[in-house]
Amino acid sequence: MPAESLEIRELSAGYGPTVVLENVSFTVPAGGRLSILGRNGMGKTTLLSSLMGLTKRYGGEIRLDGTDVASLKSCDRAMRGLGLVPQTRDIFRSLTVEENLFAGLKNRPRSAIAEAYEMFPRLHERRRNLGWQLSGGEQQMLSTARTILGRPSVLLLDEPLEGLAPVICDELMAALTRLASTGEMTILLVEQRIESALDFADAVLILERGRIVWQGTSEALRSDQDLVEQYIGVGSLH
């Protein structure tokens, strides 16, 4: 099944009376990859949460394959093909790895969890461990695999590398790159590790105080150290 395109039109959203995102517009083609960059507190997590329906929307459209889903509840957006791997991971700590994976299958057969073990062999080794017994990296793999098992057409990843050891970061990004290379999912990645973000996606946007201040290619951003230092931070690229 081909991925669906995602088009955001003049999206404004936030929490209660506080507007965080203002008139955000961008498009990701079917099967495309987009990295979302910016300093802490600039609205990156709010953007992904807003796409999933977890914030208050003040205006704008969220079009999935041409259909505006902005008025739908988050559960209905998930049924339409949006899937979020949150920064908080949100695994079931009292359930085993395998039980967590079963929870992500939706209407798929239980045998489909083999896909998760193929993507992350480490999870197969830990399949009988409880969620709280996993390392941070293993929890991130579990959260990611559980969401992917639901076969979202648009996958939203919120800082999946945060707090992980370099070897685990490499393992996780390699798995995500293999997944992206199939073209079966549109993937949006929020990530503080700019090198990993630029390696993963050809297209990039930068958020500053809830607004898009730059959009372009990874290659263009990588070659403009002044732009990186202005909006992301000194020494972000090495």
pLDDT band for 3, please (50, 70, 90 cuts): low
Cα Dmax for the chain:
51
Does 44 map to a domain?
yes
Mark residue 224 as left, alpha or beta (left: phi above 0; alpha: psi -120 to 50; beta: remaining): beta
- Per-residue pLDDT at 236 exceeds 80: no
> Quick check: pTM over 0.85?
yes
The predicted-structure confidence for 77-97, as pLDDT tens digits, reads as follows: 999 999 999 988 899 999 999
**pLDDT given for residue 114 in this prediction:** 95
Determine the pLDDT at residue 234.
59
Query: Is the pLDDT assigned to residue 37 strictly greater than 50?
Result: yes
Q: Does 238 fall in a domain?
A: no
Q: What local confidence, expressed as pLDDT, does residue 233 receive?
A: 82
Q: Examine residue 22 and state whether it is found in any structural domain, yes or no.
A: yes
- For residue 23, being part of any structural domain is answered with yes
On average, the pLDDT of the chain sits at 93
- Whether 1 is covered by a domain: the verdict is no
- Mean pLDDT, to the nearest integer, of 103-129? 93
Is residue 236 assigned to a domain?
Answer: no
Domain assignment present for residue 96? The answer is yes
pLDDT at position 58 is 97
Under 8 Å CB-to-CB from 10, ≥6 apart: which residues? 23, 24, 25, 59, 60, 61
Range of the domain at 139: 6-231
Residue 139 belongs to a domain with what CATH number? 3.40.50.300
Taking residues 215-227, what's their average pLDDT? 95
Mean pLDDT is lowest, of 98-102, 111-115, 225-229, 231-235, for 231-235
Domain membership of residue 70 (yes or no) is: yes
Tell me how many domains the chain contains: 1
Please report which confidence band the pLDDT of residue 107 belongs to, taking 50, 70 and 90 as the band edges. Answer: confident
Give yes or no for residue 238 having a pLDDT over 70.
no
Please give the pLDDT value at position 148: 93
Q: What is the mean pLDDT of residues 171-192?
A: 93
The model's pLDDT over 109-118, given as tens digits with 9 standing for 90+, comes to: 999 999 999 9
- Given a contact cutoff of 8 angstroms between Cβ atoms, the answer to whether 105 and 112 are in contact is yes
